[in-house]
Structure 1
Amino acid sequence: MKFNNLLQDFYDAKIGYYRHLAIILGKNYLDNAIELIKTYLQVNNNPKIAYAFHPWVNGSKDRLSTLKEAIMTNEIVDIDYSSSEKYLGESFDLTILDAVDDFRPNYISRLVDLTRGGGLVIIYSDDISDINKLYKFSLTRNGIVKNLFENRFIKMAINSRGIILVNDNDIKFKPFSSSEVSKPHKKSYDKTIPKSLYDLCLTDDQVKLIREFDFVLEKGKRILIVTAPRGRGKSAGVGLALSFYVKRTLSKPTNVIITSPSYYSSQAIIQFLEEGLRALKIRYKKKISKEGKIMKISAGEVNIKWTSPDLAKDENGDLIIVDEAAALGIENLEYIRNSWDKIVFISTIQGYEGSGKAFMKYINSLDNSQIVKLDYPIRYAKGDPVEKFIYNVMLLDAEPEVYRNNTQFMEITQEDLFSNEELLRQIYGILVSAHYRNSPDDLMFLGDMAFQRIFTIGYNAVAEIVEEGELDETTEDHILNGEENEGNLIPHRIIKYMRIRNFGKLKGWRIMRIAVTPELQNQGLGTKLLSNVEKIALKNNIDWIGSSFVADYKVLNFWIKNGFKPVYLASRKNEGLGGYSVIVMKALTERAEKFLVELGKLLKDKILRTSHQVYFNVNPRILAKILTNIEFKKEIEIDDTYIGKIYAYLNGKIPYNSASEAIHAIAEKYFYDLSFKLDEEEVSAIIARTFQGKSWSHSAKMLSVNNQEAENLLRRGIEKIVKKYYGQEEKDYIEL
């Protein structure tokens, strides 16, 4: 057998508790994969096996059946790529990734991580650069796409130890040694926690986490922050710590909320909470959904339930645990911080769901907080070569440096970027450091999507731009009829949802990402970069430049300060990104300006008419920023009865609800006029209570004030409006 010379390496990996990764390519990929598996089975004859693929693609199930027959087993956990998040808490000895139909960085990074020490990961495909692969095809436009990501992937595999590269009969492999790693271990028993719980911990880091969890039991506001690279057992550790928390509060009525971007992000907490309760011999009951999800656990007087972030932040309880916290965005975290006294934030700081410096800067600024950092991997040895390869090839730990005394504006080609590892790490590191939600897919997009341009100022500020527009009538018709066209994101949203067809004929630049090295932010570099990009766009006869992003106050304010206008706000929350997408644009030609005026009108009308239902969960400060920066005006007539009601409310003679329709009408008049400015806090209070229909309590939380101050802000704003338009009213009633 051609792989017999790897037997000793597999034995060594078992001893050292590290992993191997095999990338099998060429026309004989399936035969070679089967032969390598049979070789591995000589070392581990009863492995737990996972097989990941797209089961709905023609031919994919046939390959799985062939493999099962060849190795004579049906004991394989088959994982649909699209639901692979469900398996994050499991471990396997042999993980096989069918990359014939899809070679997607997100799936690779996530599923490789499921393999435990001594195990083997196999990725097989005829050609990882094939244009017809599902994610690759989404990056293809007019039949054009690049292979820079895949070429770099193969090059790094050849040069990395512990990685087996097979291309038909050609095998490249640089051995690794168990002498270079250290296995997970624990020191002597810590008597501060029950022995049965200690025995469930895999590392000293998890023992430390259980001990430090007591911080949230202290009096006053307490925020415990748990950070770690992926695979360190932070969620499992929190689950065990939570079981000990339950033991000490069994007889006290206690409500605990667990939340995360998706249920599966938190399943390790729930799984190890159960294990901890069993180890502590605590009886409990659980409520399970039709889909098999554990939604609630009750023990004694303690109730613990999982709830989606939108609902969780307004729940009443004694403790809230937020897993993958950075993915929720700073605004949501601030809302939770203002609403809860006892909080646990858990977040990956590196890895495929990493949050980088932006999140770390936020948590380091929090008062009454304590940070617990976990470093030791739980599934494999520290120093594992596969983890090192995945981190390097996906740039999961890219951190930009500050380039001093370099202010040159320049364009960087994708080819130059991917041929210079230091430059790629710097540029990509800047792009991901300024965003809360990143994934390895972003790196493949950067390398393979052809219709983009990359600009920088001194390698300290970067703009990644996608060319969009110039659509033909057939494409516009397809979009109008509901077909996707993600290669033209802004035209797609404008045509499909705003129903403005001819916008697609314009030529635009979508600024996909713009970012500045964290240490140099707030010094005008981003504005300077935008200005230079605009000059280049004008030279290239571009009609518009714009950007689409999850609505965040600071980000929105940056674009508006630089002359961009809001033209679109998504009607539904993007659950994957954790917020509502907003589009801002700047017109560079007269024909583009006409579209921007009409889009502004439509957006203003929609927000003012539907905020109570469509945009109820949007931060009112964001709606205020959008509405006050759309110039569309129209006359609104106010009935005299309304004016009397407003003054009666302002004079304290009637409550808000009795004058709500009058306040709504005069506030609408203000937003369609904007001939003078209110304080932003006043505008936000009016939007929260009057247009979104929030309670005073909910409005106050959104505005980070108390209930009375929320009403005071609204009163001051409405008083300024009514006096501006109608002067000082002598009577707060009318006579018929």
Structure 2
Amino acid sequence: MIAGVTRRLRGEAERANERRVLVLAGDRDRAVDAAYDAVESLGVADGSVSIVSTREGFRFEEHRPRNADELLGRTRDAVVLDCHERFVPNALGRAVGAVDGGGLLILLTPALDDWPAIRDRFDDSLAVPPYGVDDVTGRFRERLVSTLRTHPGIAVVALGDDEADDDVIERDGLTGSAAGERDEAGDRDPPSAPPDATFPATAYRACLTADQARALRAFEALAEPGSAVVVESDRGRGKSSAAGLAAGALALGGADVLVTAPAFRNAAEVFTRARELIETEAETGGDGEGVGRKGDDRDDDAGGDDRDLRTPAGGRVRFLSPAAAAAAAAEADAAIVDEAAALPVRLLEGFLDAPAVAFCTTVHGYEGAGRGFSVRFRERLLDSQFAVRDVRLDEPIRYARNDPVEAWASRALLLDARPAVDAAVADAAVDDAAYRALDPDDLLADETLLAEAFGLLVAAHYRTEPNDLARLLDAPNLVARALVADGRVVAVALLAREGGLDAATRRGMYEGERVRGNMVPDVLTSQLRDEAAAAPRGLRTVRIATHHALRDAGFGSRLLDEVHAEFGGDRPGDEEGLDYFSVGYGTTPRLLRFWMRAGYRIVHLSTTRNDASGEYSAIMLRPETDAGGDLLDRHAVAFRDRERDGLSDAHRDVDPDVVRGALRACSGPVSVDLTDTEWRSVVGASVGPGMYDTAPGAFRDLALAALIEGGELEERQERLLVRKVLQGRPWEEVADELDFVSTSACMRAIGDAYVPIVERYGTEFALAERERFISD
């Protein structure tokens, strides 16, 4: 029976150039046997089948659920996803994306009626201490099961309890689809190069759709400085392939092409296509007859030299991590940023220093939200020196446009989630918006509410993924709150309960054990060596997002005020309240100001940059009780003391405006205790003939105090104190960065900056010493 269902699904999928899903629900061992029967009936080679499972020993290509990213960029006739023991939503998204047109996704699941109530190893990861796995709900799987039972193109077979029991076909998955919208890639004529094309004809013949050829044509502009290209598409449209062909063509012409993406695996297709083009041109001498996409027997786990391709003309295609690529962009001839929507705007701005640049982004998908990229970065790109060309790819490469499995995956994983349209919220007023809890049961019952709330989170953050949808619906430590205007979600906050951990757990954290979900207590305990830090109860803002049409209108601040009012202060009855609110985020001056205005104060700045964002991460607290106040006080003092020396070490390259904002957000009391000798040096440098170099420690203590308390100095003077006094940069570098006419002018400016500082912090001795020079 399984073979018959599979052949019928496969036949319709092939005729329509679409994909289908086969659900084998029931006992795991029976499901594995049935999956083998299904694959055998497909008549495909074992090498074209992958299985994602916690088990081993299959004859197919194997992947673990947490490593399903290895499927990105792959094309498979069938993918088997074992949903027993550890069902990871991200793995479902990767598995769907790897199935070729005419292929099958085979899901091995528990009985569908039972599945939402079953807890597995993924649920263990949602059971954040002090919660247990019994506190995790099954709403995500309840919703998923509903889509499996109702969406077109999905066959469901309920397996018997043993071989004596008959299997039951609940759905046959057939849609009645006719032939697909386009022929198979191998049966069509490849696009031809435009008459005046500058890229090799080989590159155009390697394109699989007219959309790809149009994108490749736009990429030709990268050969000229001052050009920018933006390529947008849904998943599976071939934007990375087109970028790879363009990179290879540019390198064949001698260009140095810098490629980046959130991780190298996201750019693997770029390098595969670039390598194919370079090798084909070398083999054919530029003729390139017969070039096409290579088969799936290639090694997709690119590494080593595959990250730095060279051409006979002296060109190259090389990969760097996002932060490193942004720093090196000006040195390359062209930069290509793949999955650009997955990178923060602050990091993307670094690529505006490149002579020519391309940004490729997924409009809907877990790699990043194209809408967020468009809204937040497009204006800055248009205001730059670049002439911008836009291309959108709509035609799928590997399956027909109306493929039902693509529509199902988008709905089940909310890959197409988006905020309300601009017109629906344009007239929203912050004072009229209603504050409401986004109860998971309400989200489960209202698809529009769920899509708008999750869509805001996707658009606002570069790492929102299907696993986060499961956390939103099922994790016991998470709560969500929103502002709603005229029935539309205009702002949303995702909040995590942390702390309140017992002594044994705290001791384990202090000794190096990792405790899931308690990000702030973990950092304060394990990194900053405070064993008592996980005892107070906190509520961390995991993410907060405002509709892009309403930014800077006060909605985010209003939402935080409501959260503080609901969860802070005295609690009714015996309910245990919070000791503090917290937040951790990639630090920018603007965000520092936002959180400081909301009453948060800094306790930590990471010592390394985030690889994807290129930013240092800050942790800030807002105390609500004495216990929360004590936690803030001791860590504010520790932060103050760390930064005195850390700014000339691990934080030597932190942006001076980030340093200024971080120090201003420090609530640690200022302490200045200089000797008379040190005061002589400071006073002498400020109003007399003394020199800064004679007492650098004294100057550092005073600079730290002045920046924490603020008020006396101009912004340029504060930046000068950061760069020279606290970060110890060379005089010439500081003078150049801060636009002083000379190094000597920069040195005089240091003295001038200390005049009001001496006035504020000087002892009687210091003020008397100053009078000696002023009176003279």
Distance change in 2, residues 1:710/1:602 (3 Å): farther
The code of the aligned residue for 1:97 comes to L
CA–CA distance in 2 between the matches of 1:699 and 1:88? 45
The code of the aligned residue for 1:258 comes to V
CA–CA distance in 2 between the matches of 1:522 and 1:352? 27
Within 5 Å, give how 1:315-714 maps onto structure 2.
315=328, 316-337=331-352, 339-365=353-379, 366=381, 367=384, 368=386, 369-401=388-420, 402-403=424-425, 407-458=433-484, 459-537=489-567, 538-540=569-571, 541-575=577-611, 579-616=615-652, 618-632=654-668, 633-637=670-674, 639=678, 642-643=681-682, 646=685, 664=700, 666-671=702-707, 674-680=709-715, 682-684=717-719, 686-693=721-728
CA–CA distance in 2 between the matches of 1:710 and 1:7? 79
Distance change in 2, residues 1:465/1:665 (3 Å): closer
> Deviation of residue 92 (structure 1)?
0.8
Range with greater deviation from structure 2 (312-321 or 675-684): 675-684
- Residues 34-91 of structure 1, C-alpha deviations (whole Å, 9 max, x = no match): 435534543433364343446xx6xx12xx44xx4xxxxxxx3222344443442221
CA–CA distance in 2 between the matches of 1:700 and 1:160? 65
> Deviation of residue 273 (structure 1)?
0.7
- Counterpart residue number, 1:246: 251
The code of the aligned residue for 2:37 comes to K
TM-score by length of 2: 0.82
Secondary structure at the residue paired with 2:192? coil
- Counterpart residue number, 1:45: 44
- Counterpart residue number, 1:272: 273
- Counterpart residue number, 2:297: none
CA–CA distance in 2 between the matches of 1:497 and 1:207? 51
The code of the aligned residue for 1:411 comes to A
Could you list the runs of 5+ residues in structure 1 that have no partner in the other structure?
69-75
Secondary structure at the residue paired with 1:120? strand
> Deviation of residue 119 (structure 1)?
0.7
> Deviation of residue 277 (structure 1)?
1.4
Q: Would the aligned equivalents of 1:89 and 1:267 in 2 still touch at CA under 8 Å?
A: yes
CA–CA distance in 2 between the matches of 1:626 and 1:710? 28
Distance change in 2, residues 1:313/1:700 (3 Å): farther
Secondary structure at the residue paired with 1:487? coil
The code of the aligned residue for 2:626 comes to E
Q: Is 1:202–2:208 an aligned residue pair?
A: yes
CA–CA distance in 1 between the matches of 2:491 and 2:735? 37
Secondary structure at the residue paired with 1:42? helix
Within 5 Å, give how 1:181-330 maps onto structure 2.
181-183=180-182, 189-191=192-194, 192=197, 193-219=199-225, 221-248=226-253, 250=254, 254-281=255-282, 292=304, 294-299=306-311, 300-315=313-328, 316-330=331-345
- Residues 554-585 of structure 1, C-alpha deviations (whole Å, 9 max, x = no match): 33332112111112223344446664332222
Range with greater deviation from structure 2 (90-99 or 32-41): 32-41
Distance change in 2, residues 1:616/1:94 (3 Å): farther
> Deviation of residue 642 (structure 1)?
4.2
CA–CA distance in 2 between the matches of 1:23 and 1:5? 11
> Deviation of residue 664 (structure 1)?
4.2
The code of the aligned residue for 1:46 comes to A
- Counterpart residue number, 1:155: 146
- Counterpart residue number, 1:721: 754
Secondary structure at the residue paired with 1:11? helix
The code of the aligned residue for 2:682 comes to I
CA–CA distance in 2 between the matches of 1:698 and 1:199? 50
Distance change in 2, residues 1:645/1:153 (3 Å): farther
> Deviation of residue 706 (structure 1)?
6.7
Secondary structure at the residue paired with 1:321? strand
- Counterpart residue number, 1:99: 83
Could you list the runs of 5+ residues in structure 2 that have no partner in the other structure?
160-166, 287-299, 572-576, 760-766
> Deviation of residue 228 (structure 1)?
1.9
Identity of matched residues, %? 24
Cα RMSD (Å): 3.5
| 141, 156, 165: which one aligns with 1:165 | 156
Distance change in 2, residues 1:641/1:133 (3 Å): farther
Q: Would the aligned equivalents of 2:193 and 2:205 in 1 still touch at CA under 8 Å?
A: no
> Deviation of residue 120 (structure 1)?
0.8
Range with greater deviation from structure 2 (339-348 or 423-432): 339-348
| 123, 132, 136: which one aligns with 2:123 | 136
Distance change in 2, residues 1:7/1:217 (3 Å): same
> Deviation of residue 170 (structure 1)?
3.8
- Residues 443-490 of structure 1, C-alpha deviations (whole Å, 9 max, x = no match): 000001123322222132222222222211111111111112223222
CA–CA distance in 1 between the matches of 2:697 and 2:301? 42
> Deviation of residue 436 (structure 1)?
2.3
Q: Would the aligned equivalents of 1:323 and 1:346 in 2 still touch at CA under 8 Å?
A: yes
CA–CA distance in 2 between the matches of 1:150 and 1:659? 65
Range with greater deviation from structure 2 (637-646 or 8-17): 637-646
The code of the aligned residue for 1:303 comes to R
Aligned residues: 701
CA–CA distance in 2 between the matches of 1:109 and 1:562? 37
Distance change in 2, residues 1:151/1:619 (3 Å): farther
Secondary structure at the residue paired with 1:18? coil
- Residues 399-450 of structure 1, C-alpha deviations (whole Å, 9 max, x = no match): 1214566622222311111111111112111222222221111100000112
- Residues 205-231 of structure 1, C-alpha deviations (whole Å, 9 max, x = no match): 211121111222234x33222222222
Q: Would the aligned equivalents of 1:637 and 1:669 in 2 still touch at CA under 8 Å?
A: no
The code of the aligned residue for 1:476 comes to R
> Deviation of residue 18 (structure 1)?
1.0
TM-score by length of 1: 0.86
Q: Would the aligned equivalents of 1:110 and 1:352 in 2 still touch at CA under 8 Å?
A: no
> Deviation of residue 709 (structure 1)?
10
